[in-house]
Amino acid sequence: MGKEGSITIKEVAKKAGVSVATAGRAMGNYGRISEETRQRVLKAAEELDYVPNKLAQSMRSRSTKTIAVVVPDIQNNFFGAIVAAMEQRAREKGYAILICNTNEKRELELDCLEMLASKQVDGILLASTFVDKSEIPGRYVKSIFYKFPFVLFDRKINDFPFVSILSDNYNMAYRVTKYIIGLGHTDIATIGSEKEHVVSNTVKEREAGYRAALREAGLGHDGLSINVDWKEQRETEKRLNILLDYHKVSAIIVFNNSIIGELLNILNKRKLIIPDNISIATWDDEEYDEFLKITAVKQPCKKMGELAVDSLIERIEADDDRMEELTITLNSTLIQRESCKIYRA
């Protein structure tokens, strides 16, 4: 068996009876070459135990076989599950993944994108902190967003002609709210997440679905929605206590799984029992939700991650610079447990 670097492309070319340039095209899978010649070169390389120089290959083909994933919060199990699915799918297709965590900070997101552009990744999978294209400085739009293939997941940026892989946020929030209204609740609040005083399109869609269900039920109010930065524990606790102190609430829908822990702590301190004193439903089914018997929305993390990778690689390998806006919405599942109870005033 040969060792890496002990056999050169020149020796492969000689054994296959072709030029070094032809052997390089066959091994790097670029340029024009007949299938018969390609197979002859590959067979010679296999017999000689030739190990190609991946760096040199990528420089010639202008492809690094690397895609980047930019997530707003890697500590969130929802994003962790998506990234795991992305990494596995990319590996199956011969690509490596670079992961950047923006910690829900816009400035850090732009820094990450600028760094990835300098690394010449083949494409970028992005769950952005930005809501609209107009919020992004123009130089980044020109030098990054319109220069590299992008696929957005979980969160859409308005006015960009990208493929976006999303969950059915509006429909599921409508469905959850309608389910709770059907149990007799009329005073239902929602808790969403914000960062840098910005509410994502994801939460906005869920709030819209919630309000649509209230209107359909003929309730004479527009609901009560609060948004918190769950990493700011004191402020989050303050807002949640204000919600419980000053508003009549019999049920709460939590739009972000990162918030549910703090809410449960506050309910425990107040000796409020679920569902006897208050009904709870949350997003992103976790193991503890099953253990605590909390009604939850389960999003299709694996499917979202796989489809995002497939869409990006298709764009990368299409050799076509045209961009087309396409939104793919995946269905989530409502898992009904014992945290929501029939309400009797």
Lookup result for tokens 């319109």: 146
DSSP letter at 273? P
Nearest by Cα to 305 from 75, 91, 65, 66: 91
Nearest by Cα to 230 from 190, 193, 183: 193
Nearest by Cα to 195 from 171, 229, 166: 229
What is the model's pLDDT at position 5?
47
Nearest by Cα to 144 from 164, 169, 172, 121: 121
State the pLDDT confidence band at 6, using cuts at 50, 70 and 90.
low
State the pLDDT confidence band at 11, using cuts at 50, 70 and 90.
confident
Q: Which domains does the chain have, with CATH numbers?
A: 9-61 (1.10.260.40), 66-167+301-330 (3.40.50.2300), 169-299 (3.40.50.2300)
3-state secondary structure of 208: helix
Region 269-273 average pLDDT: 96
246-279 residues labelled b (16+ CB within 10 A) or e (exposed): eeeebbbbbbbbbbbebbbebbeeeeeebbeebb
- What tens digit of pLDDT does each residue of 124-146 get? 999 999 999 999 999 999 889 99
What is the model's pLDDT at position 62?
59
Nearest by Cα to 105 from 195, 194, 193: 195
- What tens digit of pLDDT does each residue of 41-68 get? 888 888 887 766 544 444 444 578 999 9
